[in-house]
Each structure stands twice: as structure tokens, then as C-alpha cells.
Structure 1
Amino acid sequence: MRTRVGDFVRAGVCLLIAVALLGTARQFWREAEAAHRDDTDFTKLAIVENGRATSELKVCGDRYREPDCMRRESVTVSDTGFEANRSRPKYTLVLTRADHRTLELTYRSSDAPRDRDSVYGRAQAGQPVTLFWWRGSVRLIQAGTPYDTATVRTTHYPGRLFTGPAALASLLAGLGLGPLWAAMWLALSGRRHPLAMAWQWLAPVFVFFAAGGVGAFVAWAAPRPRAVVVGFAVTAVVLLVPTLLWLRWWARNWLARAADVEPVRPVSVHAVDGGVSGTGPWNLDLKHPLYVGPDVIGTTPDPNAYVALRPLPGPLRVITVRPPHRSDPHVVRRQYGIQPYLDEATRAQREAQRRGYTSRSQLESTYPLVAVCEVLSGPGQGSRVLIGAPHQDMPEVLGAIAAHAGQRR
């Protein structure tokens, strides 16, 4: 029941994360689509003559009507300035609009600052300046008399405004679909899959993030909404299907296997970093480690197993030894921080290795195992008891369980 409630809590947290990420991705995608429409529609402003597009653009007036044309606005020059640069000078025009609002425009041009026939030279000389607007942005600056003008165009890079928001939307969508998958899995299928692994959402998170990365690359290489969606979807399907099939096989055949552990009778009494879980008298203090001996097994608060030794309340029979399940209590399925028992010689060898700067990868790794046991007699007869310990100590734990059962019969 605790696992089920915990699954719902984790599913709720994952769902909130997914909603936040996918909502942000949706906003970026809307901006990207709007930018793509602007890029696509701006190419339609070119005036076509004899079936070919010319360099002239449509201006709203008697011949062309909005929205397929640029809006003209006459402004007054208030101030000018330029900044020298190795490549191209940077020019600044401070303009006053008809409603007395001030507008500052900055642009780069290859024209020399002292060129009187350039837009900057004409504006500095007080000649009329006209701006041509397209959907909220200035695309053309014209200075001079109607019959003698100079023009500066804003450089148009198709897809430049689309790439950034589309790439962010793709990445955020990939990050958001992973927690969404996790929430659905935990809420709908978590109870039917007891194995202690987070593959149900970790692997899809990586797959969807990889798909988001591919979508971001497509947004840069081929800035079109359809190309980004197709790239994201194809990558997700190609990676997700074999990943889920492999993980399904792995969970059924590797994680669900019974561990092949042979019992070994302990030589002396010593503590083991493990735990016992059961019902009634078998619901022992979870903070106390185990201790094992030649003919006994129990719990003790003493890490050296010298005092306050508390034997288990009855004999047990080992049914199977397996990896921990998600539904197991935390005390028997601890996957981090468990340490196998080390005798004096092994401790001395380990300390020598540490002083010799032995890398962590060269030290022996450890992982937990769980012994599923049945109470043979006494309190809680017939009930199940779980005993968890590091895999290095499990042979001695099994030997101590068998010896303890022989003593209690």
C-alpha cells in the first residue's frame, strides 16, 4: 500500500514537471510558427515582373493593400551617431515619429561615415527619412528626396527567427514527455511491476531528450515546422520501440531471476549492514543492523556486535534469494550506502589500497540481495519475512538462518 501511495505521489510530481515543460515548449513553438510565417510571407512582398521576382518590394498605397505590403512612415531625425569598427561601422539614428514618440534605430553598413550619399549622410544633412514597416519590424530605411534616395535594407535570413524558438521547443518537449511517460507508468502500471528499477521513465527520458536534440538540429539545418516535427517523431519512434523491447526483456529475464547463493556458516559473530522486515514480532527495529554468528542471526544496535544482541524470534526457511523489488521496505532494498562486512585482514588491505590512491572502480562493488523466508514455528508461523544484505554477506546470512533454525527446533 505504501508503494502504491508513493507511486501516486511520484506520478503527481512528474505530471507537474511535465505540464510546466510542455507548456513552455508550446509557447516557444507558437513563437517559432509565427516567425516562420513572417519569413515565408516576407518573400511574397517582392514585386513580380514577367514571372520573376525583382529587388523592389510592395509598399502599401493605391496599388497594394495590407497585409501583403510594407507600411510607409515619415519620421524626423533628432540625432545621429556612428561607432567605428574593423569590419563595418555601426550607425545610430534617433528618430521622432508623428505621435512625438522617439525611436532609436541601429544598423551596420559598408558605407563610409563621411559618404554624403549614404542613408546616414543624408539623415545627418537633414534630408527626409522614411521607414517601411512589416509586421512590427522595420525592414527598410530610405533617406533623401523622392527622386534621389538612398536605401538600407535589413538583411533577411530565412529561418533565422524560427530556429531559436523551434530548437528550444523541441528540447523542452523532449524533456517534458519523459516525466509525462513516468507519471502515466507509475499511475497505471507501477503496481504490476514490482522490480526495483526506474527504467519505466529513465530510459524514455533519455530517448525523448535525444529526439528533442535531433529536432533542434533539424530546426537549424532545415528551418521548417514540418521538418522539425518529423525529425522529432521519427527519432522518438526509432529509439523508443527497441529500447522498451530490450528493457522489457531485461526486466523479465535478468532482474526477476533468482540469485544463486550458497549458504556459508559464519566463523564468528559480526555485524552485517542489512535489515529484517515482517509483520507482528518480525517487524524489528529498522535502524538496527543485522548480526550473524555460527548458530544465530539477529539484530543489534551495536555496529561491532558485542552487546545488546537480539536473536530473531523464531526459525526461518529460505524460499528464494532475489534482487530487491520496488514494493519491498526500504530497509531490505537499500541500493546506496550498504557496505559488506570486512574482517581485520580485509580492512587492513582496504586501507592500504586507499593510501595507495587506488581508484574507486578498482574496489569491489556491492549490491543488495533479499532473502524471502517463511516462519516455521512460533510467533507469526507461516508468514513471510524479508532479510536484506549486501551480496557479499548473503552466503553467511543464509548459513546463519539455517543454523539458527536448527538451534530453535
Structure 2
Amino acid sequence: MAGLVVMGVALWLLLVPVAAGERSEAAFQRAVPCPSAPAAGGPECISRSDSVISWTRQDSHKNPAYSVAVPGPGGAVRWIALKNAHAFTDRAHRGDSIALYSWRGDVRTVVTGNRSYDTARTPVGSWGTAMGWAAGLFPGGLAVLACGWWWLARGAAHRAAAPWQVGLIGTVGIVTAVFVGVWAGQGPVTVGQALRGAGAAYTAGLLLVLLCWPFLARRERRRGDSIRVTPLHGPAEQVIAVSIPGESRYAGFPYLVVRPDALAMSTDPTGRVGCRPLPNDLSLVRVRRQRRTDPFPYIHAGRSIEPYVIGECHAGENTLLFAGKAKAFDRMAGALAARRPDVRQPA
């Protein structure tokens, strides 16, 4: 539903603001200079008035925006914002003559010296911002719609908590949306060029998804969801940053304390206080990626970009699911192997 709404907004931007801006630009380009007799002209012709520069202003240094002031009615100062007027304050100075070209009641162009500058009210390219949003929102909405369709059609049969299919479609959709949105809002000269360029980018994004799909599907079939563990042997007493989020009695205990004579979960990163004992016969069976069927799916590793993985452990007839980073389970496998050399650890 969200994807349809986003795509609907994109189509509305294309059909209303972009179309209106294109019509206004075409009308401005067809307009002719007004005749010398004021009564013979009209709002559709381009009128000229001569003036002098009262002040110039640069509003920013990193992304400068320039304005020029001319005398207005009753001695007031009239400020006119300019568009794409690079280094205007270096070329125009107070007292210089300036010609103002107006259309439909607004100043659209100014000319000073031998240079012409568009004002912020120019209809030329006025559709650019709306076109950028429309071109960017459309692939974004399409990606959301495609992810939703895949999730409804195949998501229930996919065990992974974060399927690569959703990540691939979402990443390509977002990258395409940002690229096309920025380019369409600033690069093309006409709406037709913007539409053709956006269509080419959408096609390239679709081809990228189709090319990556079989490779990622084959890699998933070969790899499965198990993660190789390399036991790291350390001191006899260790504190390892793994938790058991699926067990309420261990909630808020994010550290495993391994001692030669005992195992415990602790609230203290040093393992000295706040300990709650674990079964002494705990053994690590295997380490795997998160699944949607886990009682605590979608666990993230805080600010780290490394996702959490799951360690399946047996304690007698019970199964405990630990969550932590892959390297933490290397330490956990080594520590448990040192306590019980007779128990085979996962490889």
C-alpha cells in the first residue's frame, strides 16, 4: 500500500506541477517583446524597464545565493533574487545600470553590463524540483511495492530474518531514486530529456537486479545459514559479550561469564557482580544467521554495522539461543572446549 501511495504522489507531481511548469516555460519562450505603446501590450509580452543597482547581496559563501536591489515605488528598495548568478557581486556594483525584463507581472531576467541573469521567478526550468521528486519517488515506490510483493509471495517460506531479496531490491531502488532525483532536478534541459534519462536509469536498475538475482540465489543455496566457528582459546576465566534475549530469566544479562567451575550470565562487563548461574553442562552446537522463526528476530549489534548471529547451545535437554557477534562465538567455543574437552565443538 505504501508503495502505491508513493508512486501515486510521483505521478501527481509529474502530471500537475511538472506539466504546469512546462506549459509556463513554453509560453515564456514564445513571448515577444512588448510594443513601445504601453496600452498595446499585455501580460503575455515581455516588458523592459531600465534602472540602476542600489545594492547587491550574497547570502552564503558555500552555496552563494545572490540578490540585487533596485529603486522601487515611493523611494523603497526592491530586492530581486537571482538564479545561477555565479560571482554576481564581483561583476555588478552599486550605481551600475540594469535592465529588468518582466513577464506576467514578475521580473524574469535582468541584464547588467554584457551579462544576462535569470531571476528566481524565471519559468525556465521551474519544473526541475518537482521533476526531481517525481523521478526519485517513482523507483522508491516501485521498490517498496516489489519488496512487499516478494514478502507476501515468498517471505513466509524464507527463514532468514533479513532476506537478501529485500535488501537487493531496496538498495537498488534507493540508489536509483537518489541518482535520478538529483539528476532530473538539475541536469536535463527539457522534461522530455528528464523522462528519457529517468527511464534509462530505471531500466539499468532493473537489469542490475536481474543480473544479481541468480548469483545471490546460488550463493545462498551453497552457503546455507550456518557460520563457521574457529575456537579461540584464552584464559581460564573469560567474560564474553553474548546474551540470551529469548529467556526472560536472563533478560538484561548481556555477558557470559566462563569459569573453570561455573557458568553464569552477568550484568557486569567484568563478570564480578550481578551473576545468574547457567547449567554447567552447556555446550555450543552451532552458530547460524538469524531466522524469522527465532523468538527474538531482528536483533542488531548496537551502533556496529556487523549483524548479530545466533549460537544454538544445549544444556541437558534444553536449547538456549545466544545472540552476539560472530567473533564472540569464536571465543565462546574456545572457552567451552577448554572446560569440557570431551564435548565436540562446532567447526
In structure 2, the gaps of 5 or more residues are 57-67, 82-94, 110-115
Do residues 392 (structure 1) and 327 (structure 2) align? Answer: yes
Q: Deviation digits for residues 141-168 of structure 1, max 9, x if unmatched?
A: xxxxxxxxxxxxx9999x9524243245
Q: Pick from 181, 184, 187: which aligns with 1:218?
A: 187
Q: Pick from 309, 326, 331: which aligns with 1:369?
A: 309
Q: Deviation digits for residues 262-285 of structure 1, max 9, x if unmatched?
A: 345654122111112446xx7522
Do residues 310 (structure 1) and 286 (structure 2) align? Answer: no
Deviation at 1:397, TM superposition (A): 1.6
Do residues 206 (structure 1) and 168 (structure 2) align? Answer: no
Q: 1:178 to 1:35 in 2, by over 3 A?
A: closer
Partner Cα separation in structure 2 for residue 278 and residue 91 of structure 1: 71
Counterpart in the other structure of 2:219: 253
Q: Pick from 269, 287, 290: which aligns with 2:237?
A: 269
Deviation at 1:209, TM superposition (A): 0.6
Q: 1:40 to 1:298 in 2, by over 3 A?
A: same
Do residues 229 (structure 1) and 192 (structure 2) align? Answer: no
Counterpart in the other structure of 2:53: 83
Partner Cα separation in structure 1 for residue 103 and residue 192 of structure 2: 25
Q: Deviation digits for residues 69-103 of structure 1, max 9, x if unmatched?
A: 6599xxxxxxx9743689xx9765649xxxxxxxx
Q: TM-score when scaled to structure 1?
A: 0.52
What is the SS of the residue equivalent to 1:259?
coil
Q: 1:396 to 1:134 in 2, by over 3 A?
A: closer
What is the SS of the residue equivalent to 1:262?
coil
Do residues 163 (structure 1) and 121 (structure 2) align? Answer: no
Partner Cα separation in structure 1 for residue 340 and residue 276 of structure 2: 13
- RMSD across aligned positions (CA): 5.6
What is the SS of the residue equivalent to 2:287?
strand
Deviation at 1:367, TM superposition (A): 6.1
Counterpart in the other structure of 2:16: 30
Q: 1:185 to 1:335 in 2, by over 3 A?
A: same
Q: Which has the larger radius of gyration?
A: 1
What is the SS of the residue equivalent to 1:38?
helix
Partner Cα separation in structure 1 for residue 278 and residue 235 of structure 2: 19
Partner Cα separation in structure 1 for residue 302 and residue 143 of structure 2: 26
Q: Deviation digits for residues 290-334 of structure 1, max 9, x if unmatched?
A: 112346543123332234543324745644312344665669944
Structural mapping, 1:8-407, within 5 Å: 15=2, 19=6, 23=9, 26-27=12-13, 30-44=16-30, 82-83=52-53, 92=71, 94=73, 161-171=123-133, 173-174=135-136, 177-178=139-140, 181-182=143-144, 185=147, 189=151, 192=158, 194-196=160-162, 199=167, 200-219=169-188, 223-243=189-209, 245-246=211-212, 249-250=215-216, 253=219, 256-264=224-232, 267-278=235-246, 284-294=250-260, 296-307=262-273, 309-313=275-279, 315=281, 318-325=284-291, 328=294, 333-336=299-302, 368-374=308-314, 376-377=316-317, 381=318, 384-401=319-336, 403=339
Partner Cα separation in structure 2 for residue 267 and residue 105 of structure 1: 75
Q: TM-score when scaled to structure 2?
A: 0.59
Kept in 2: contact 1:275–1:389 (CA 8 A)? yes
Kept in 1: contact 2:253–2:265 (CA 8 A)? no
Kept in 2: contact 1:276–1:331 (CA 8 A)? no
Partner Cα separation in structure 2 for residue 262 and residue 186 of structure 1: 38
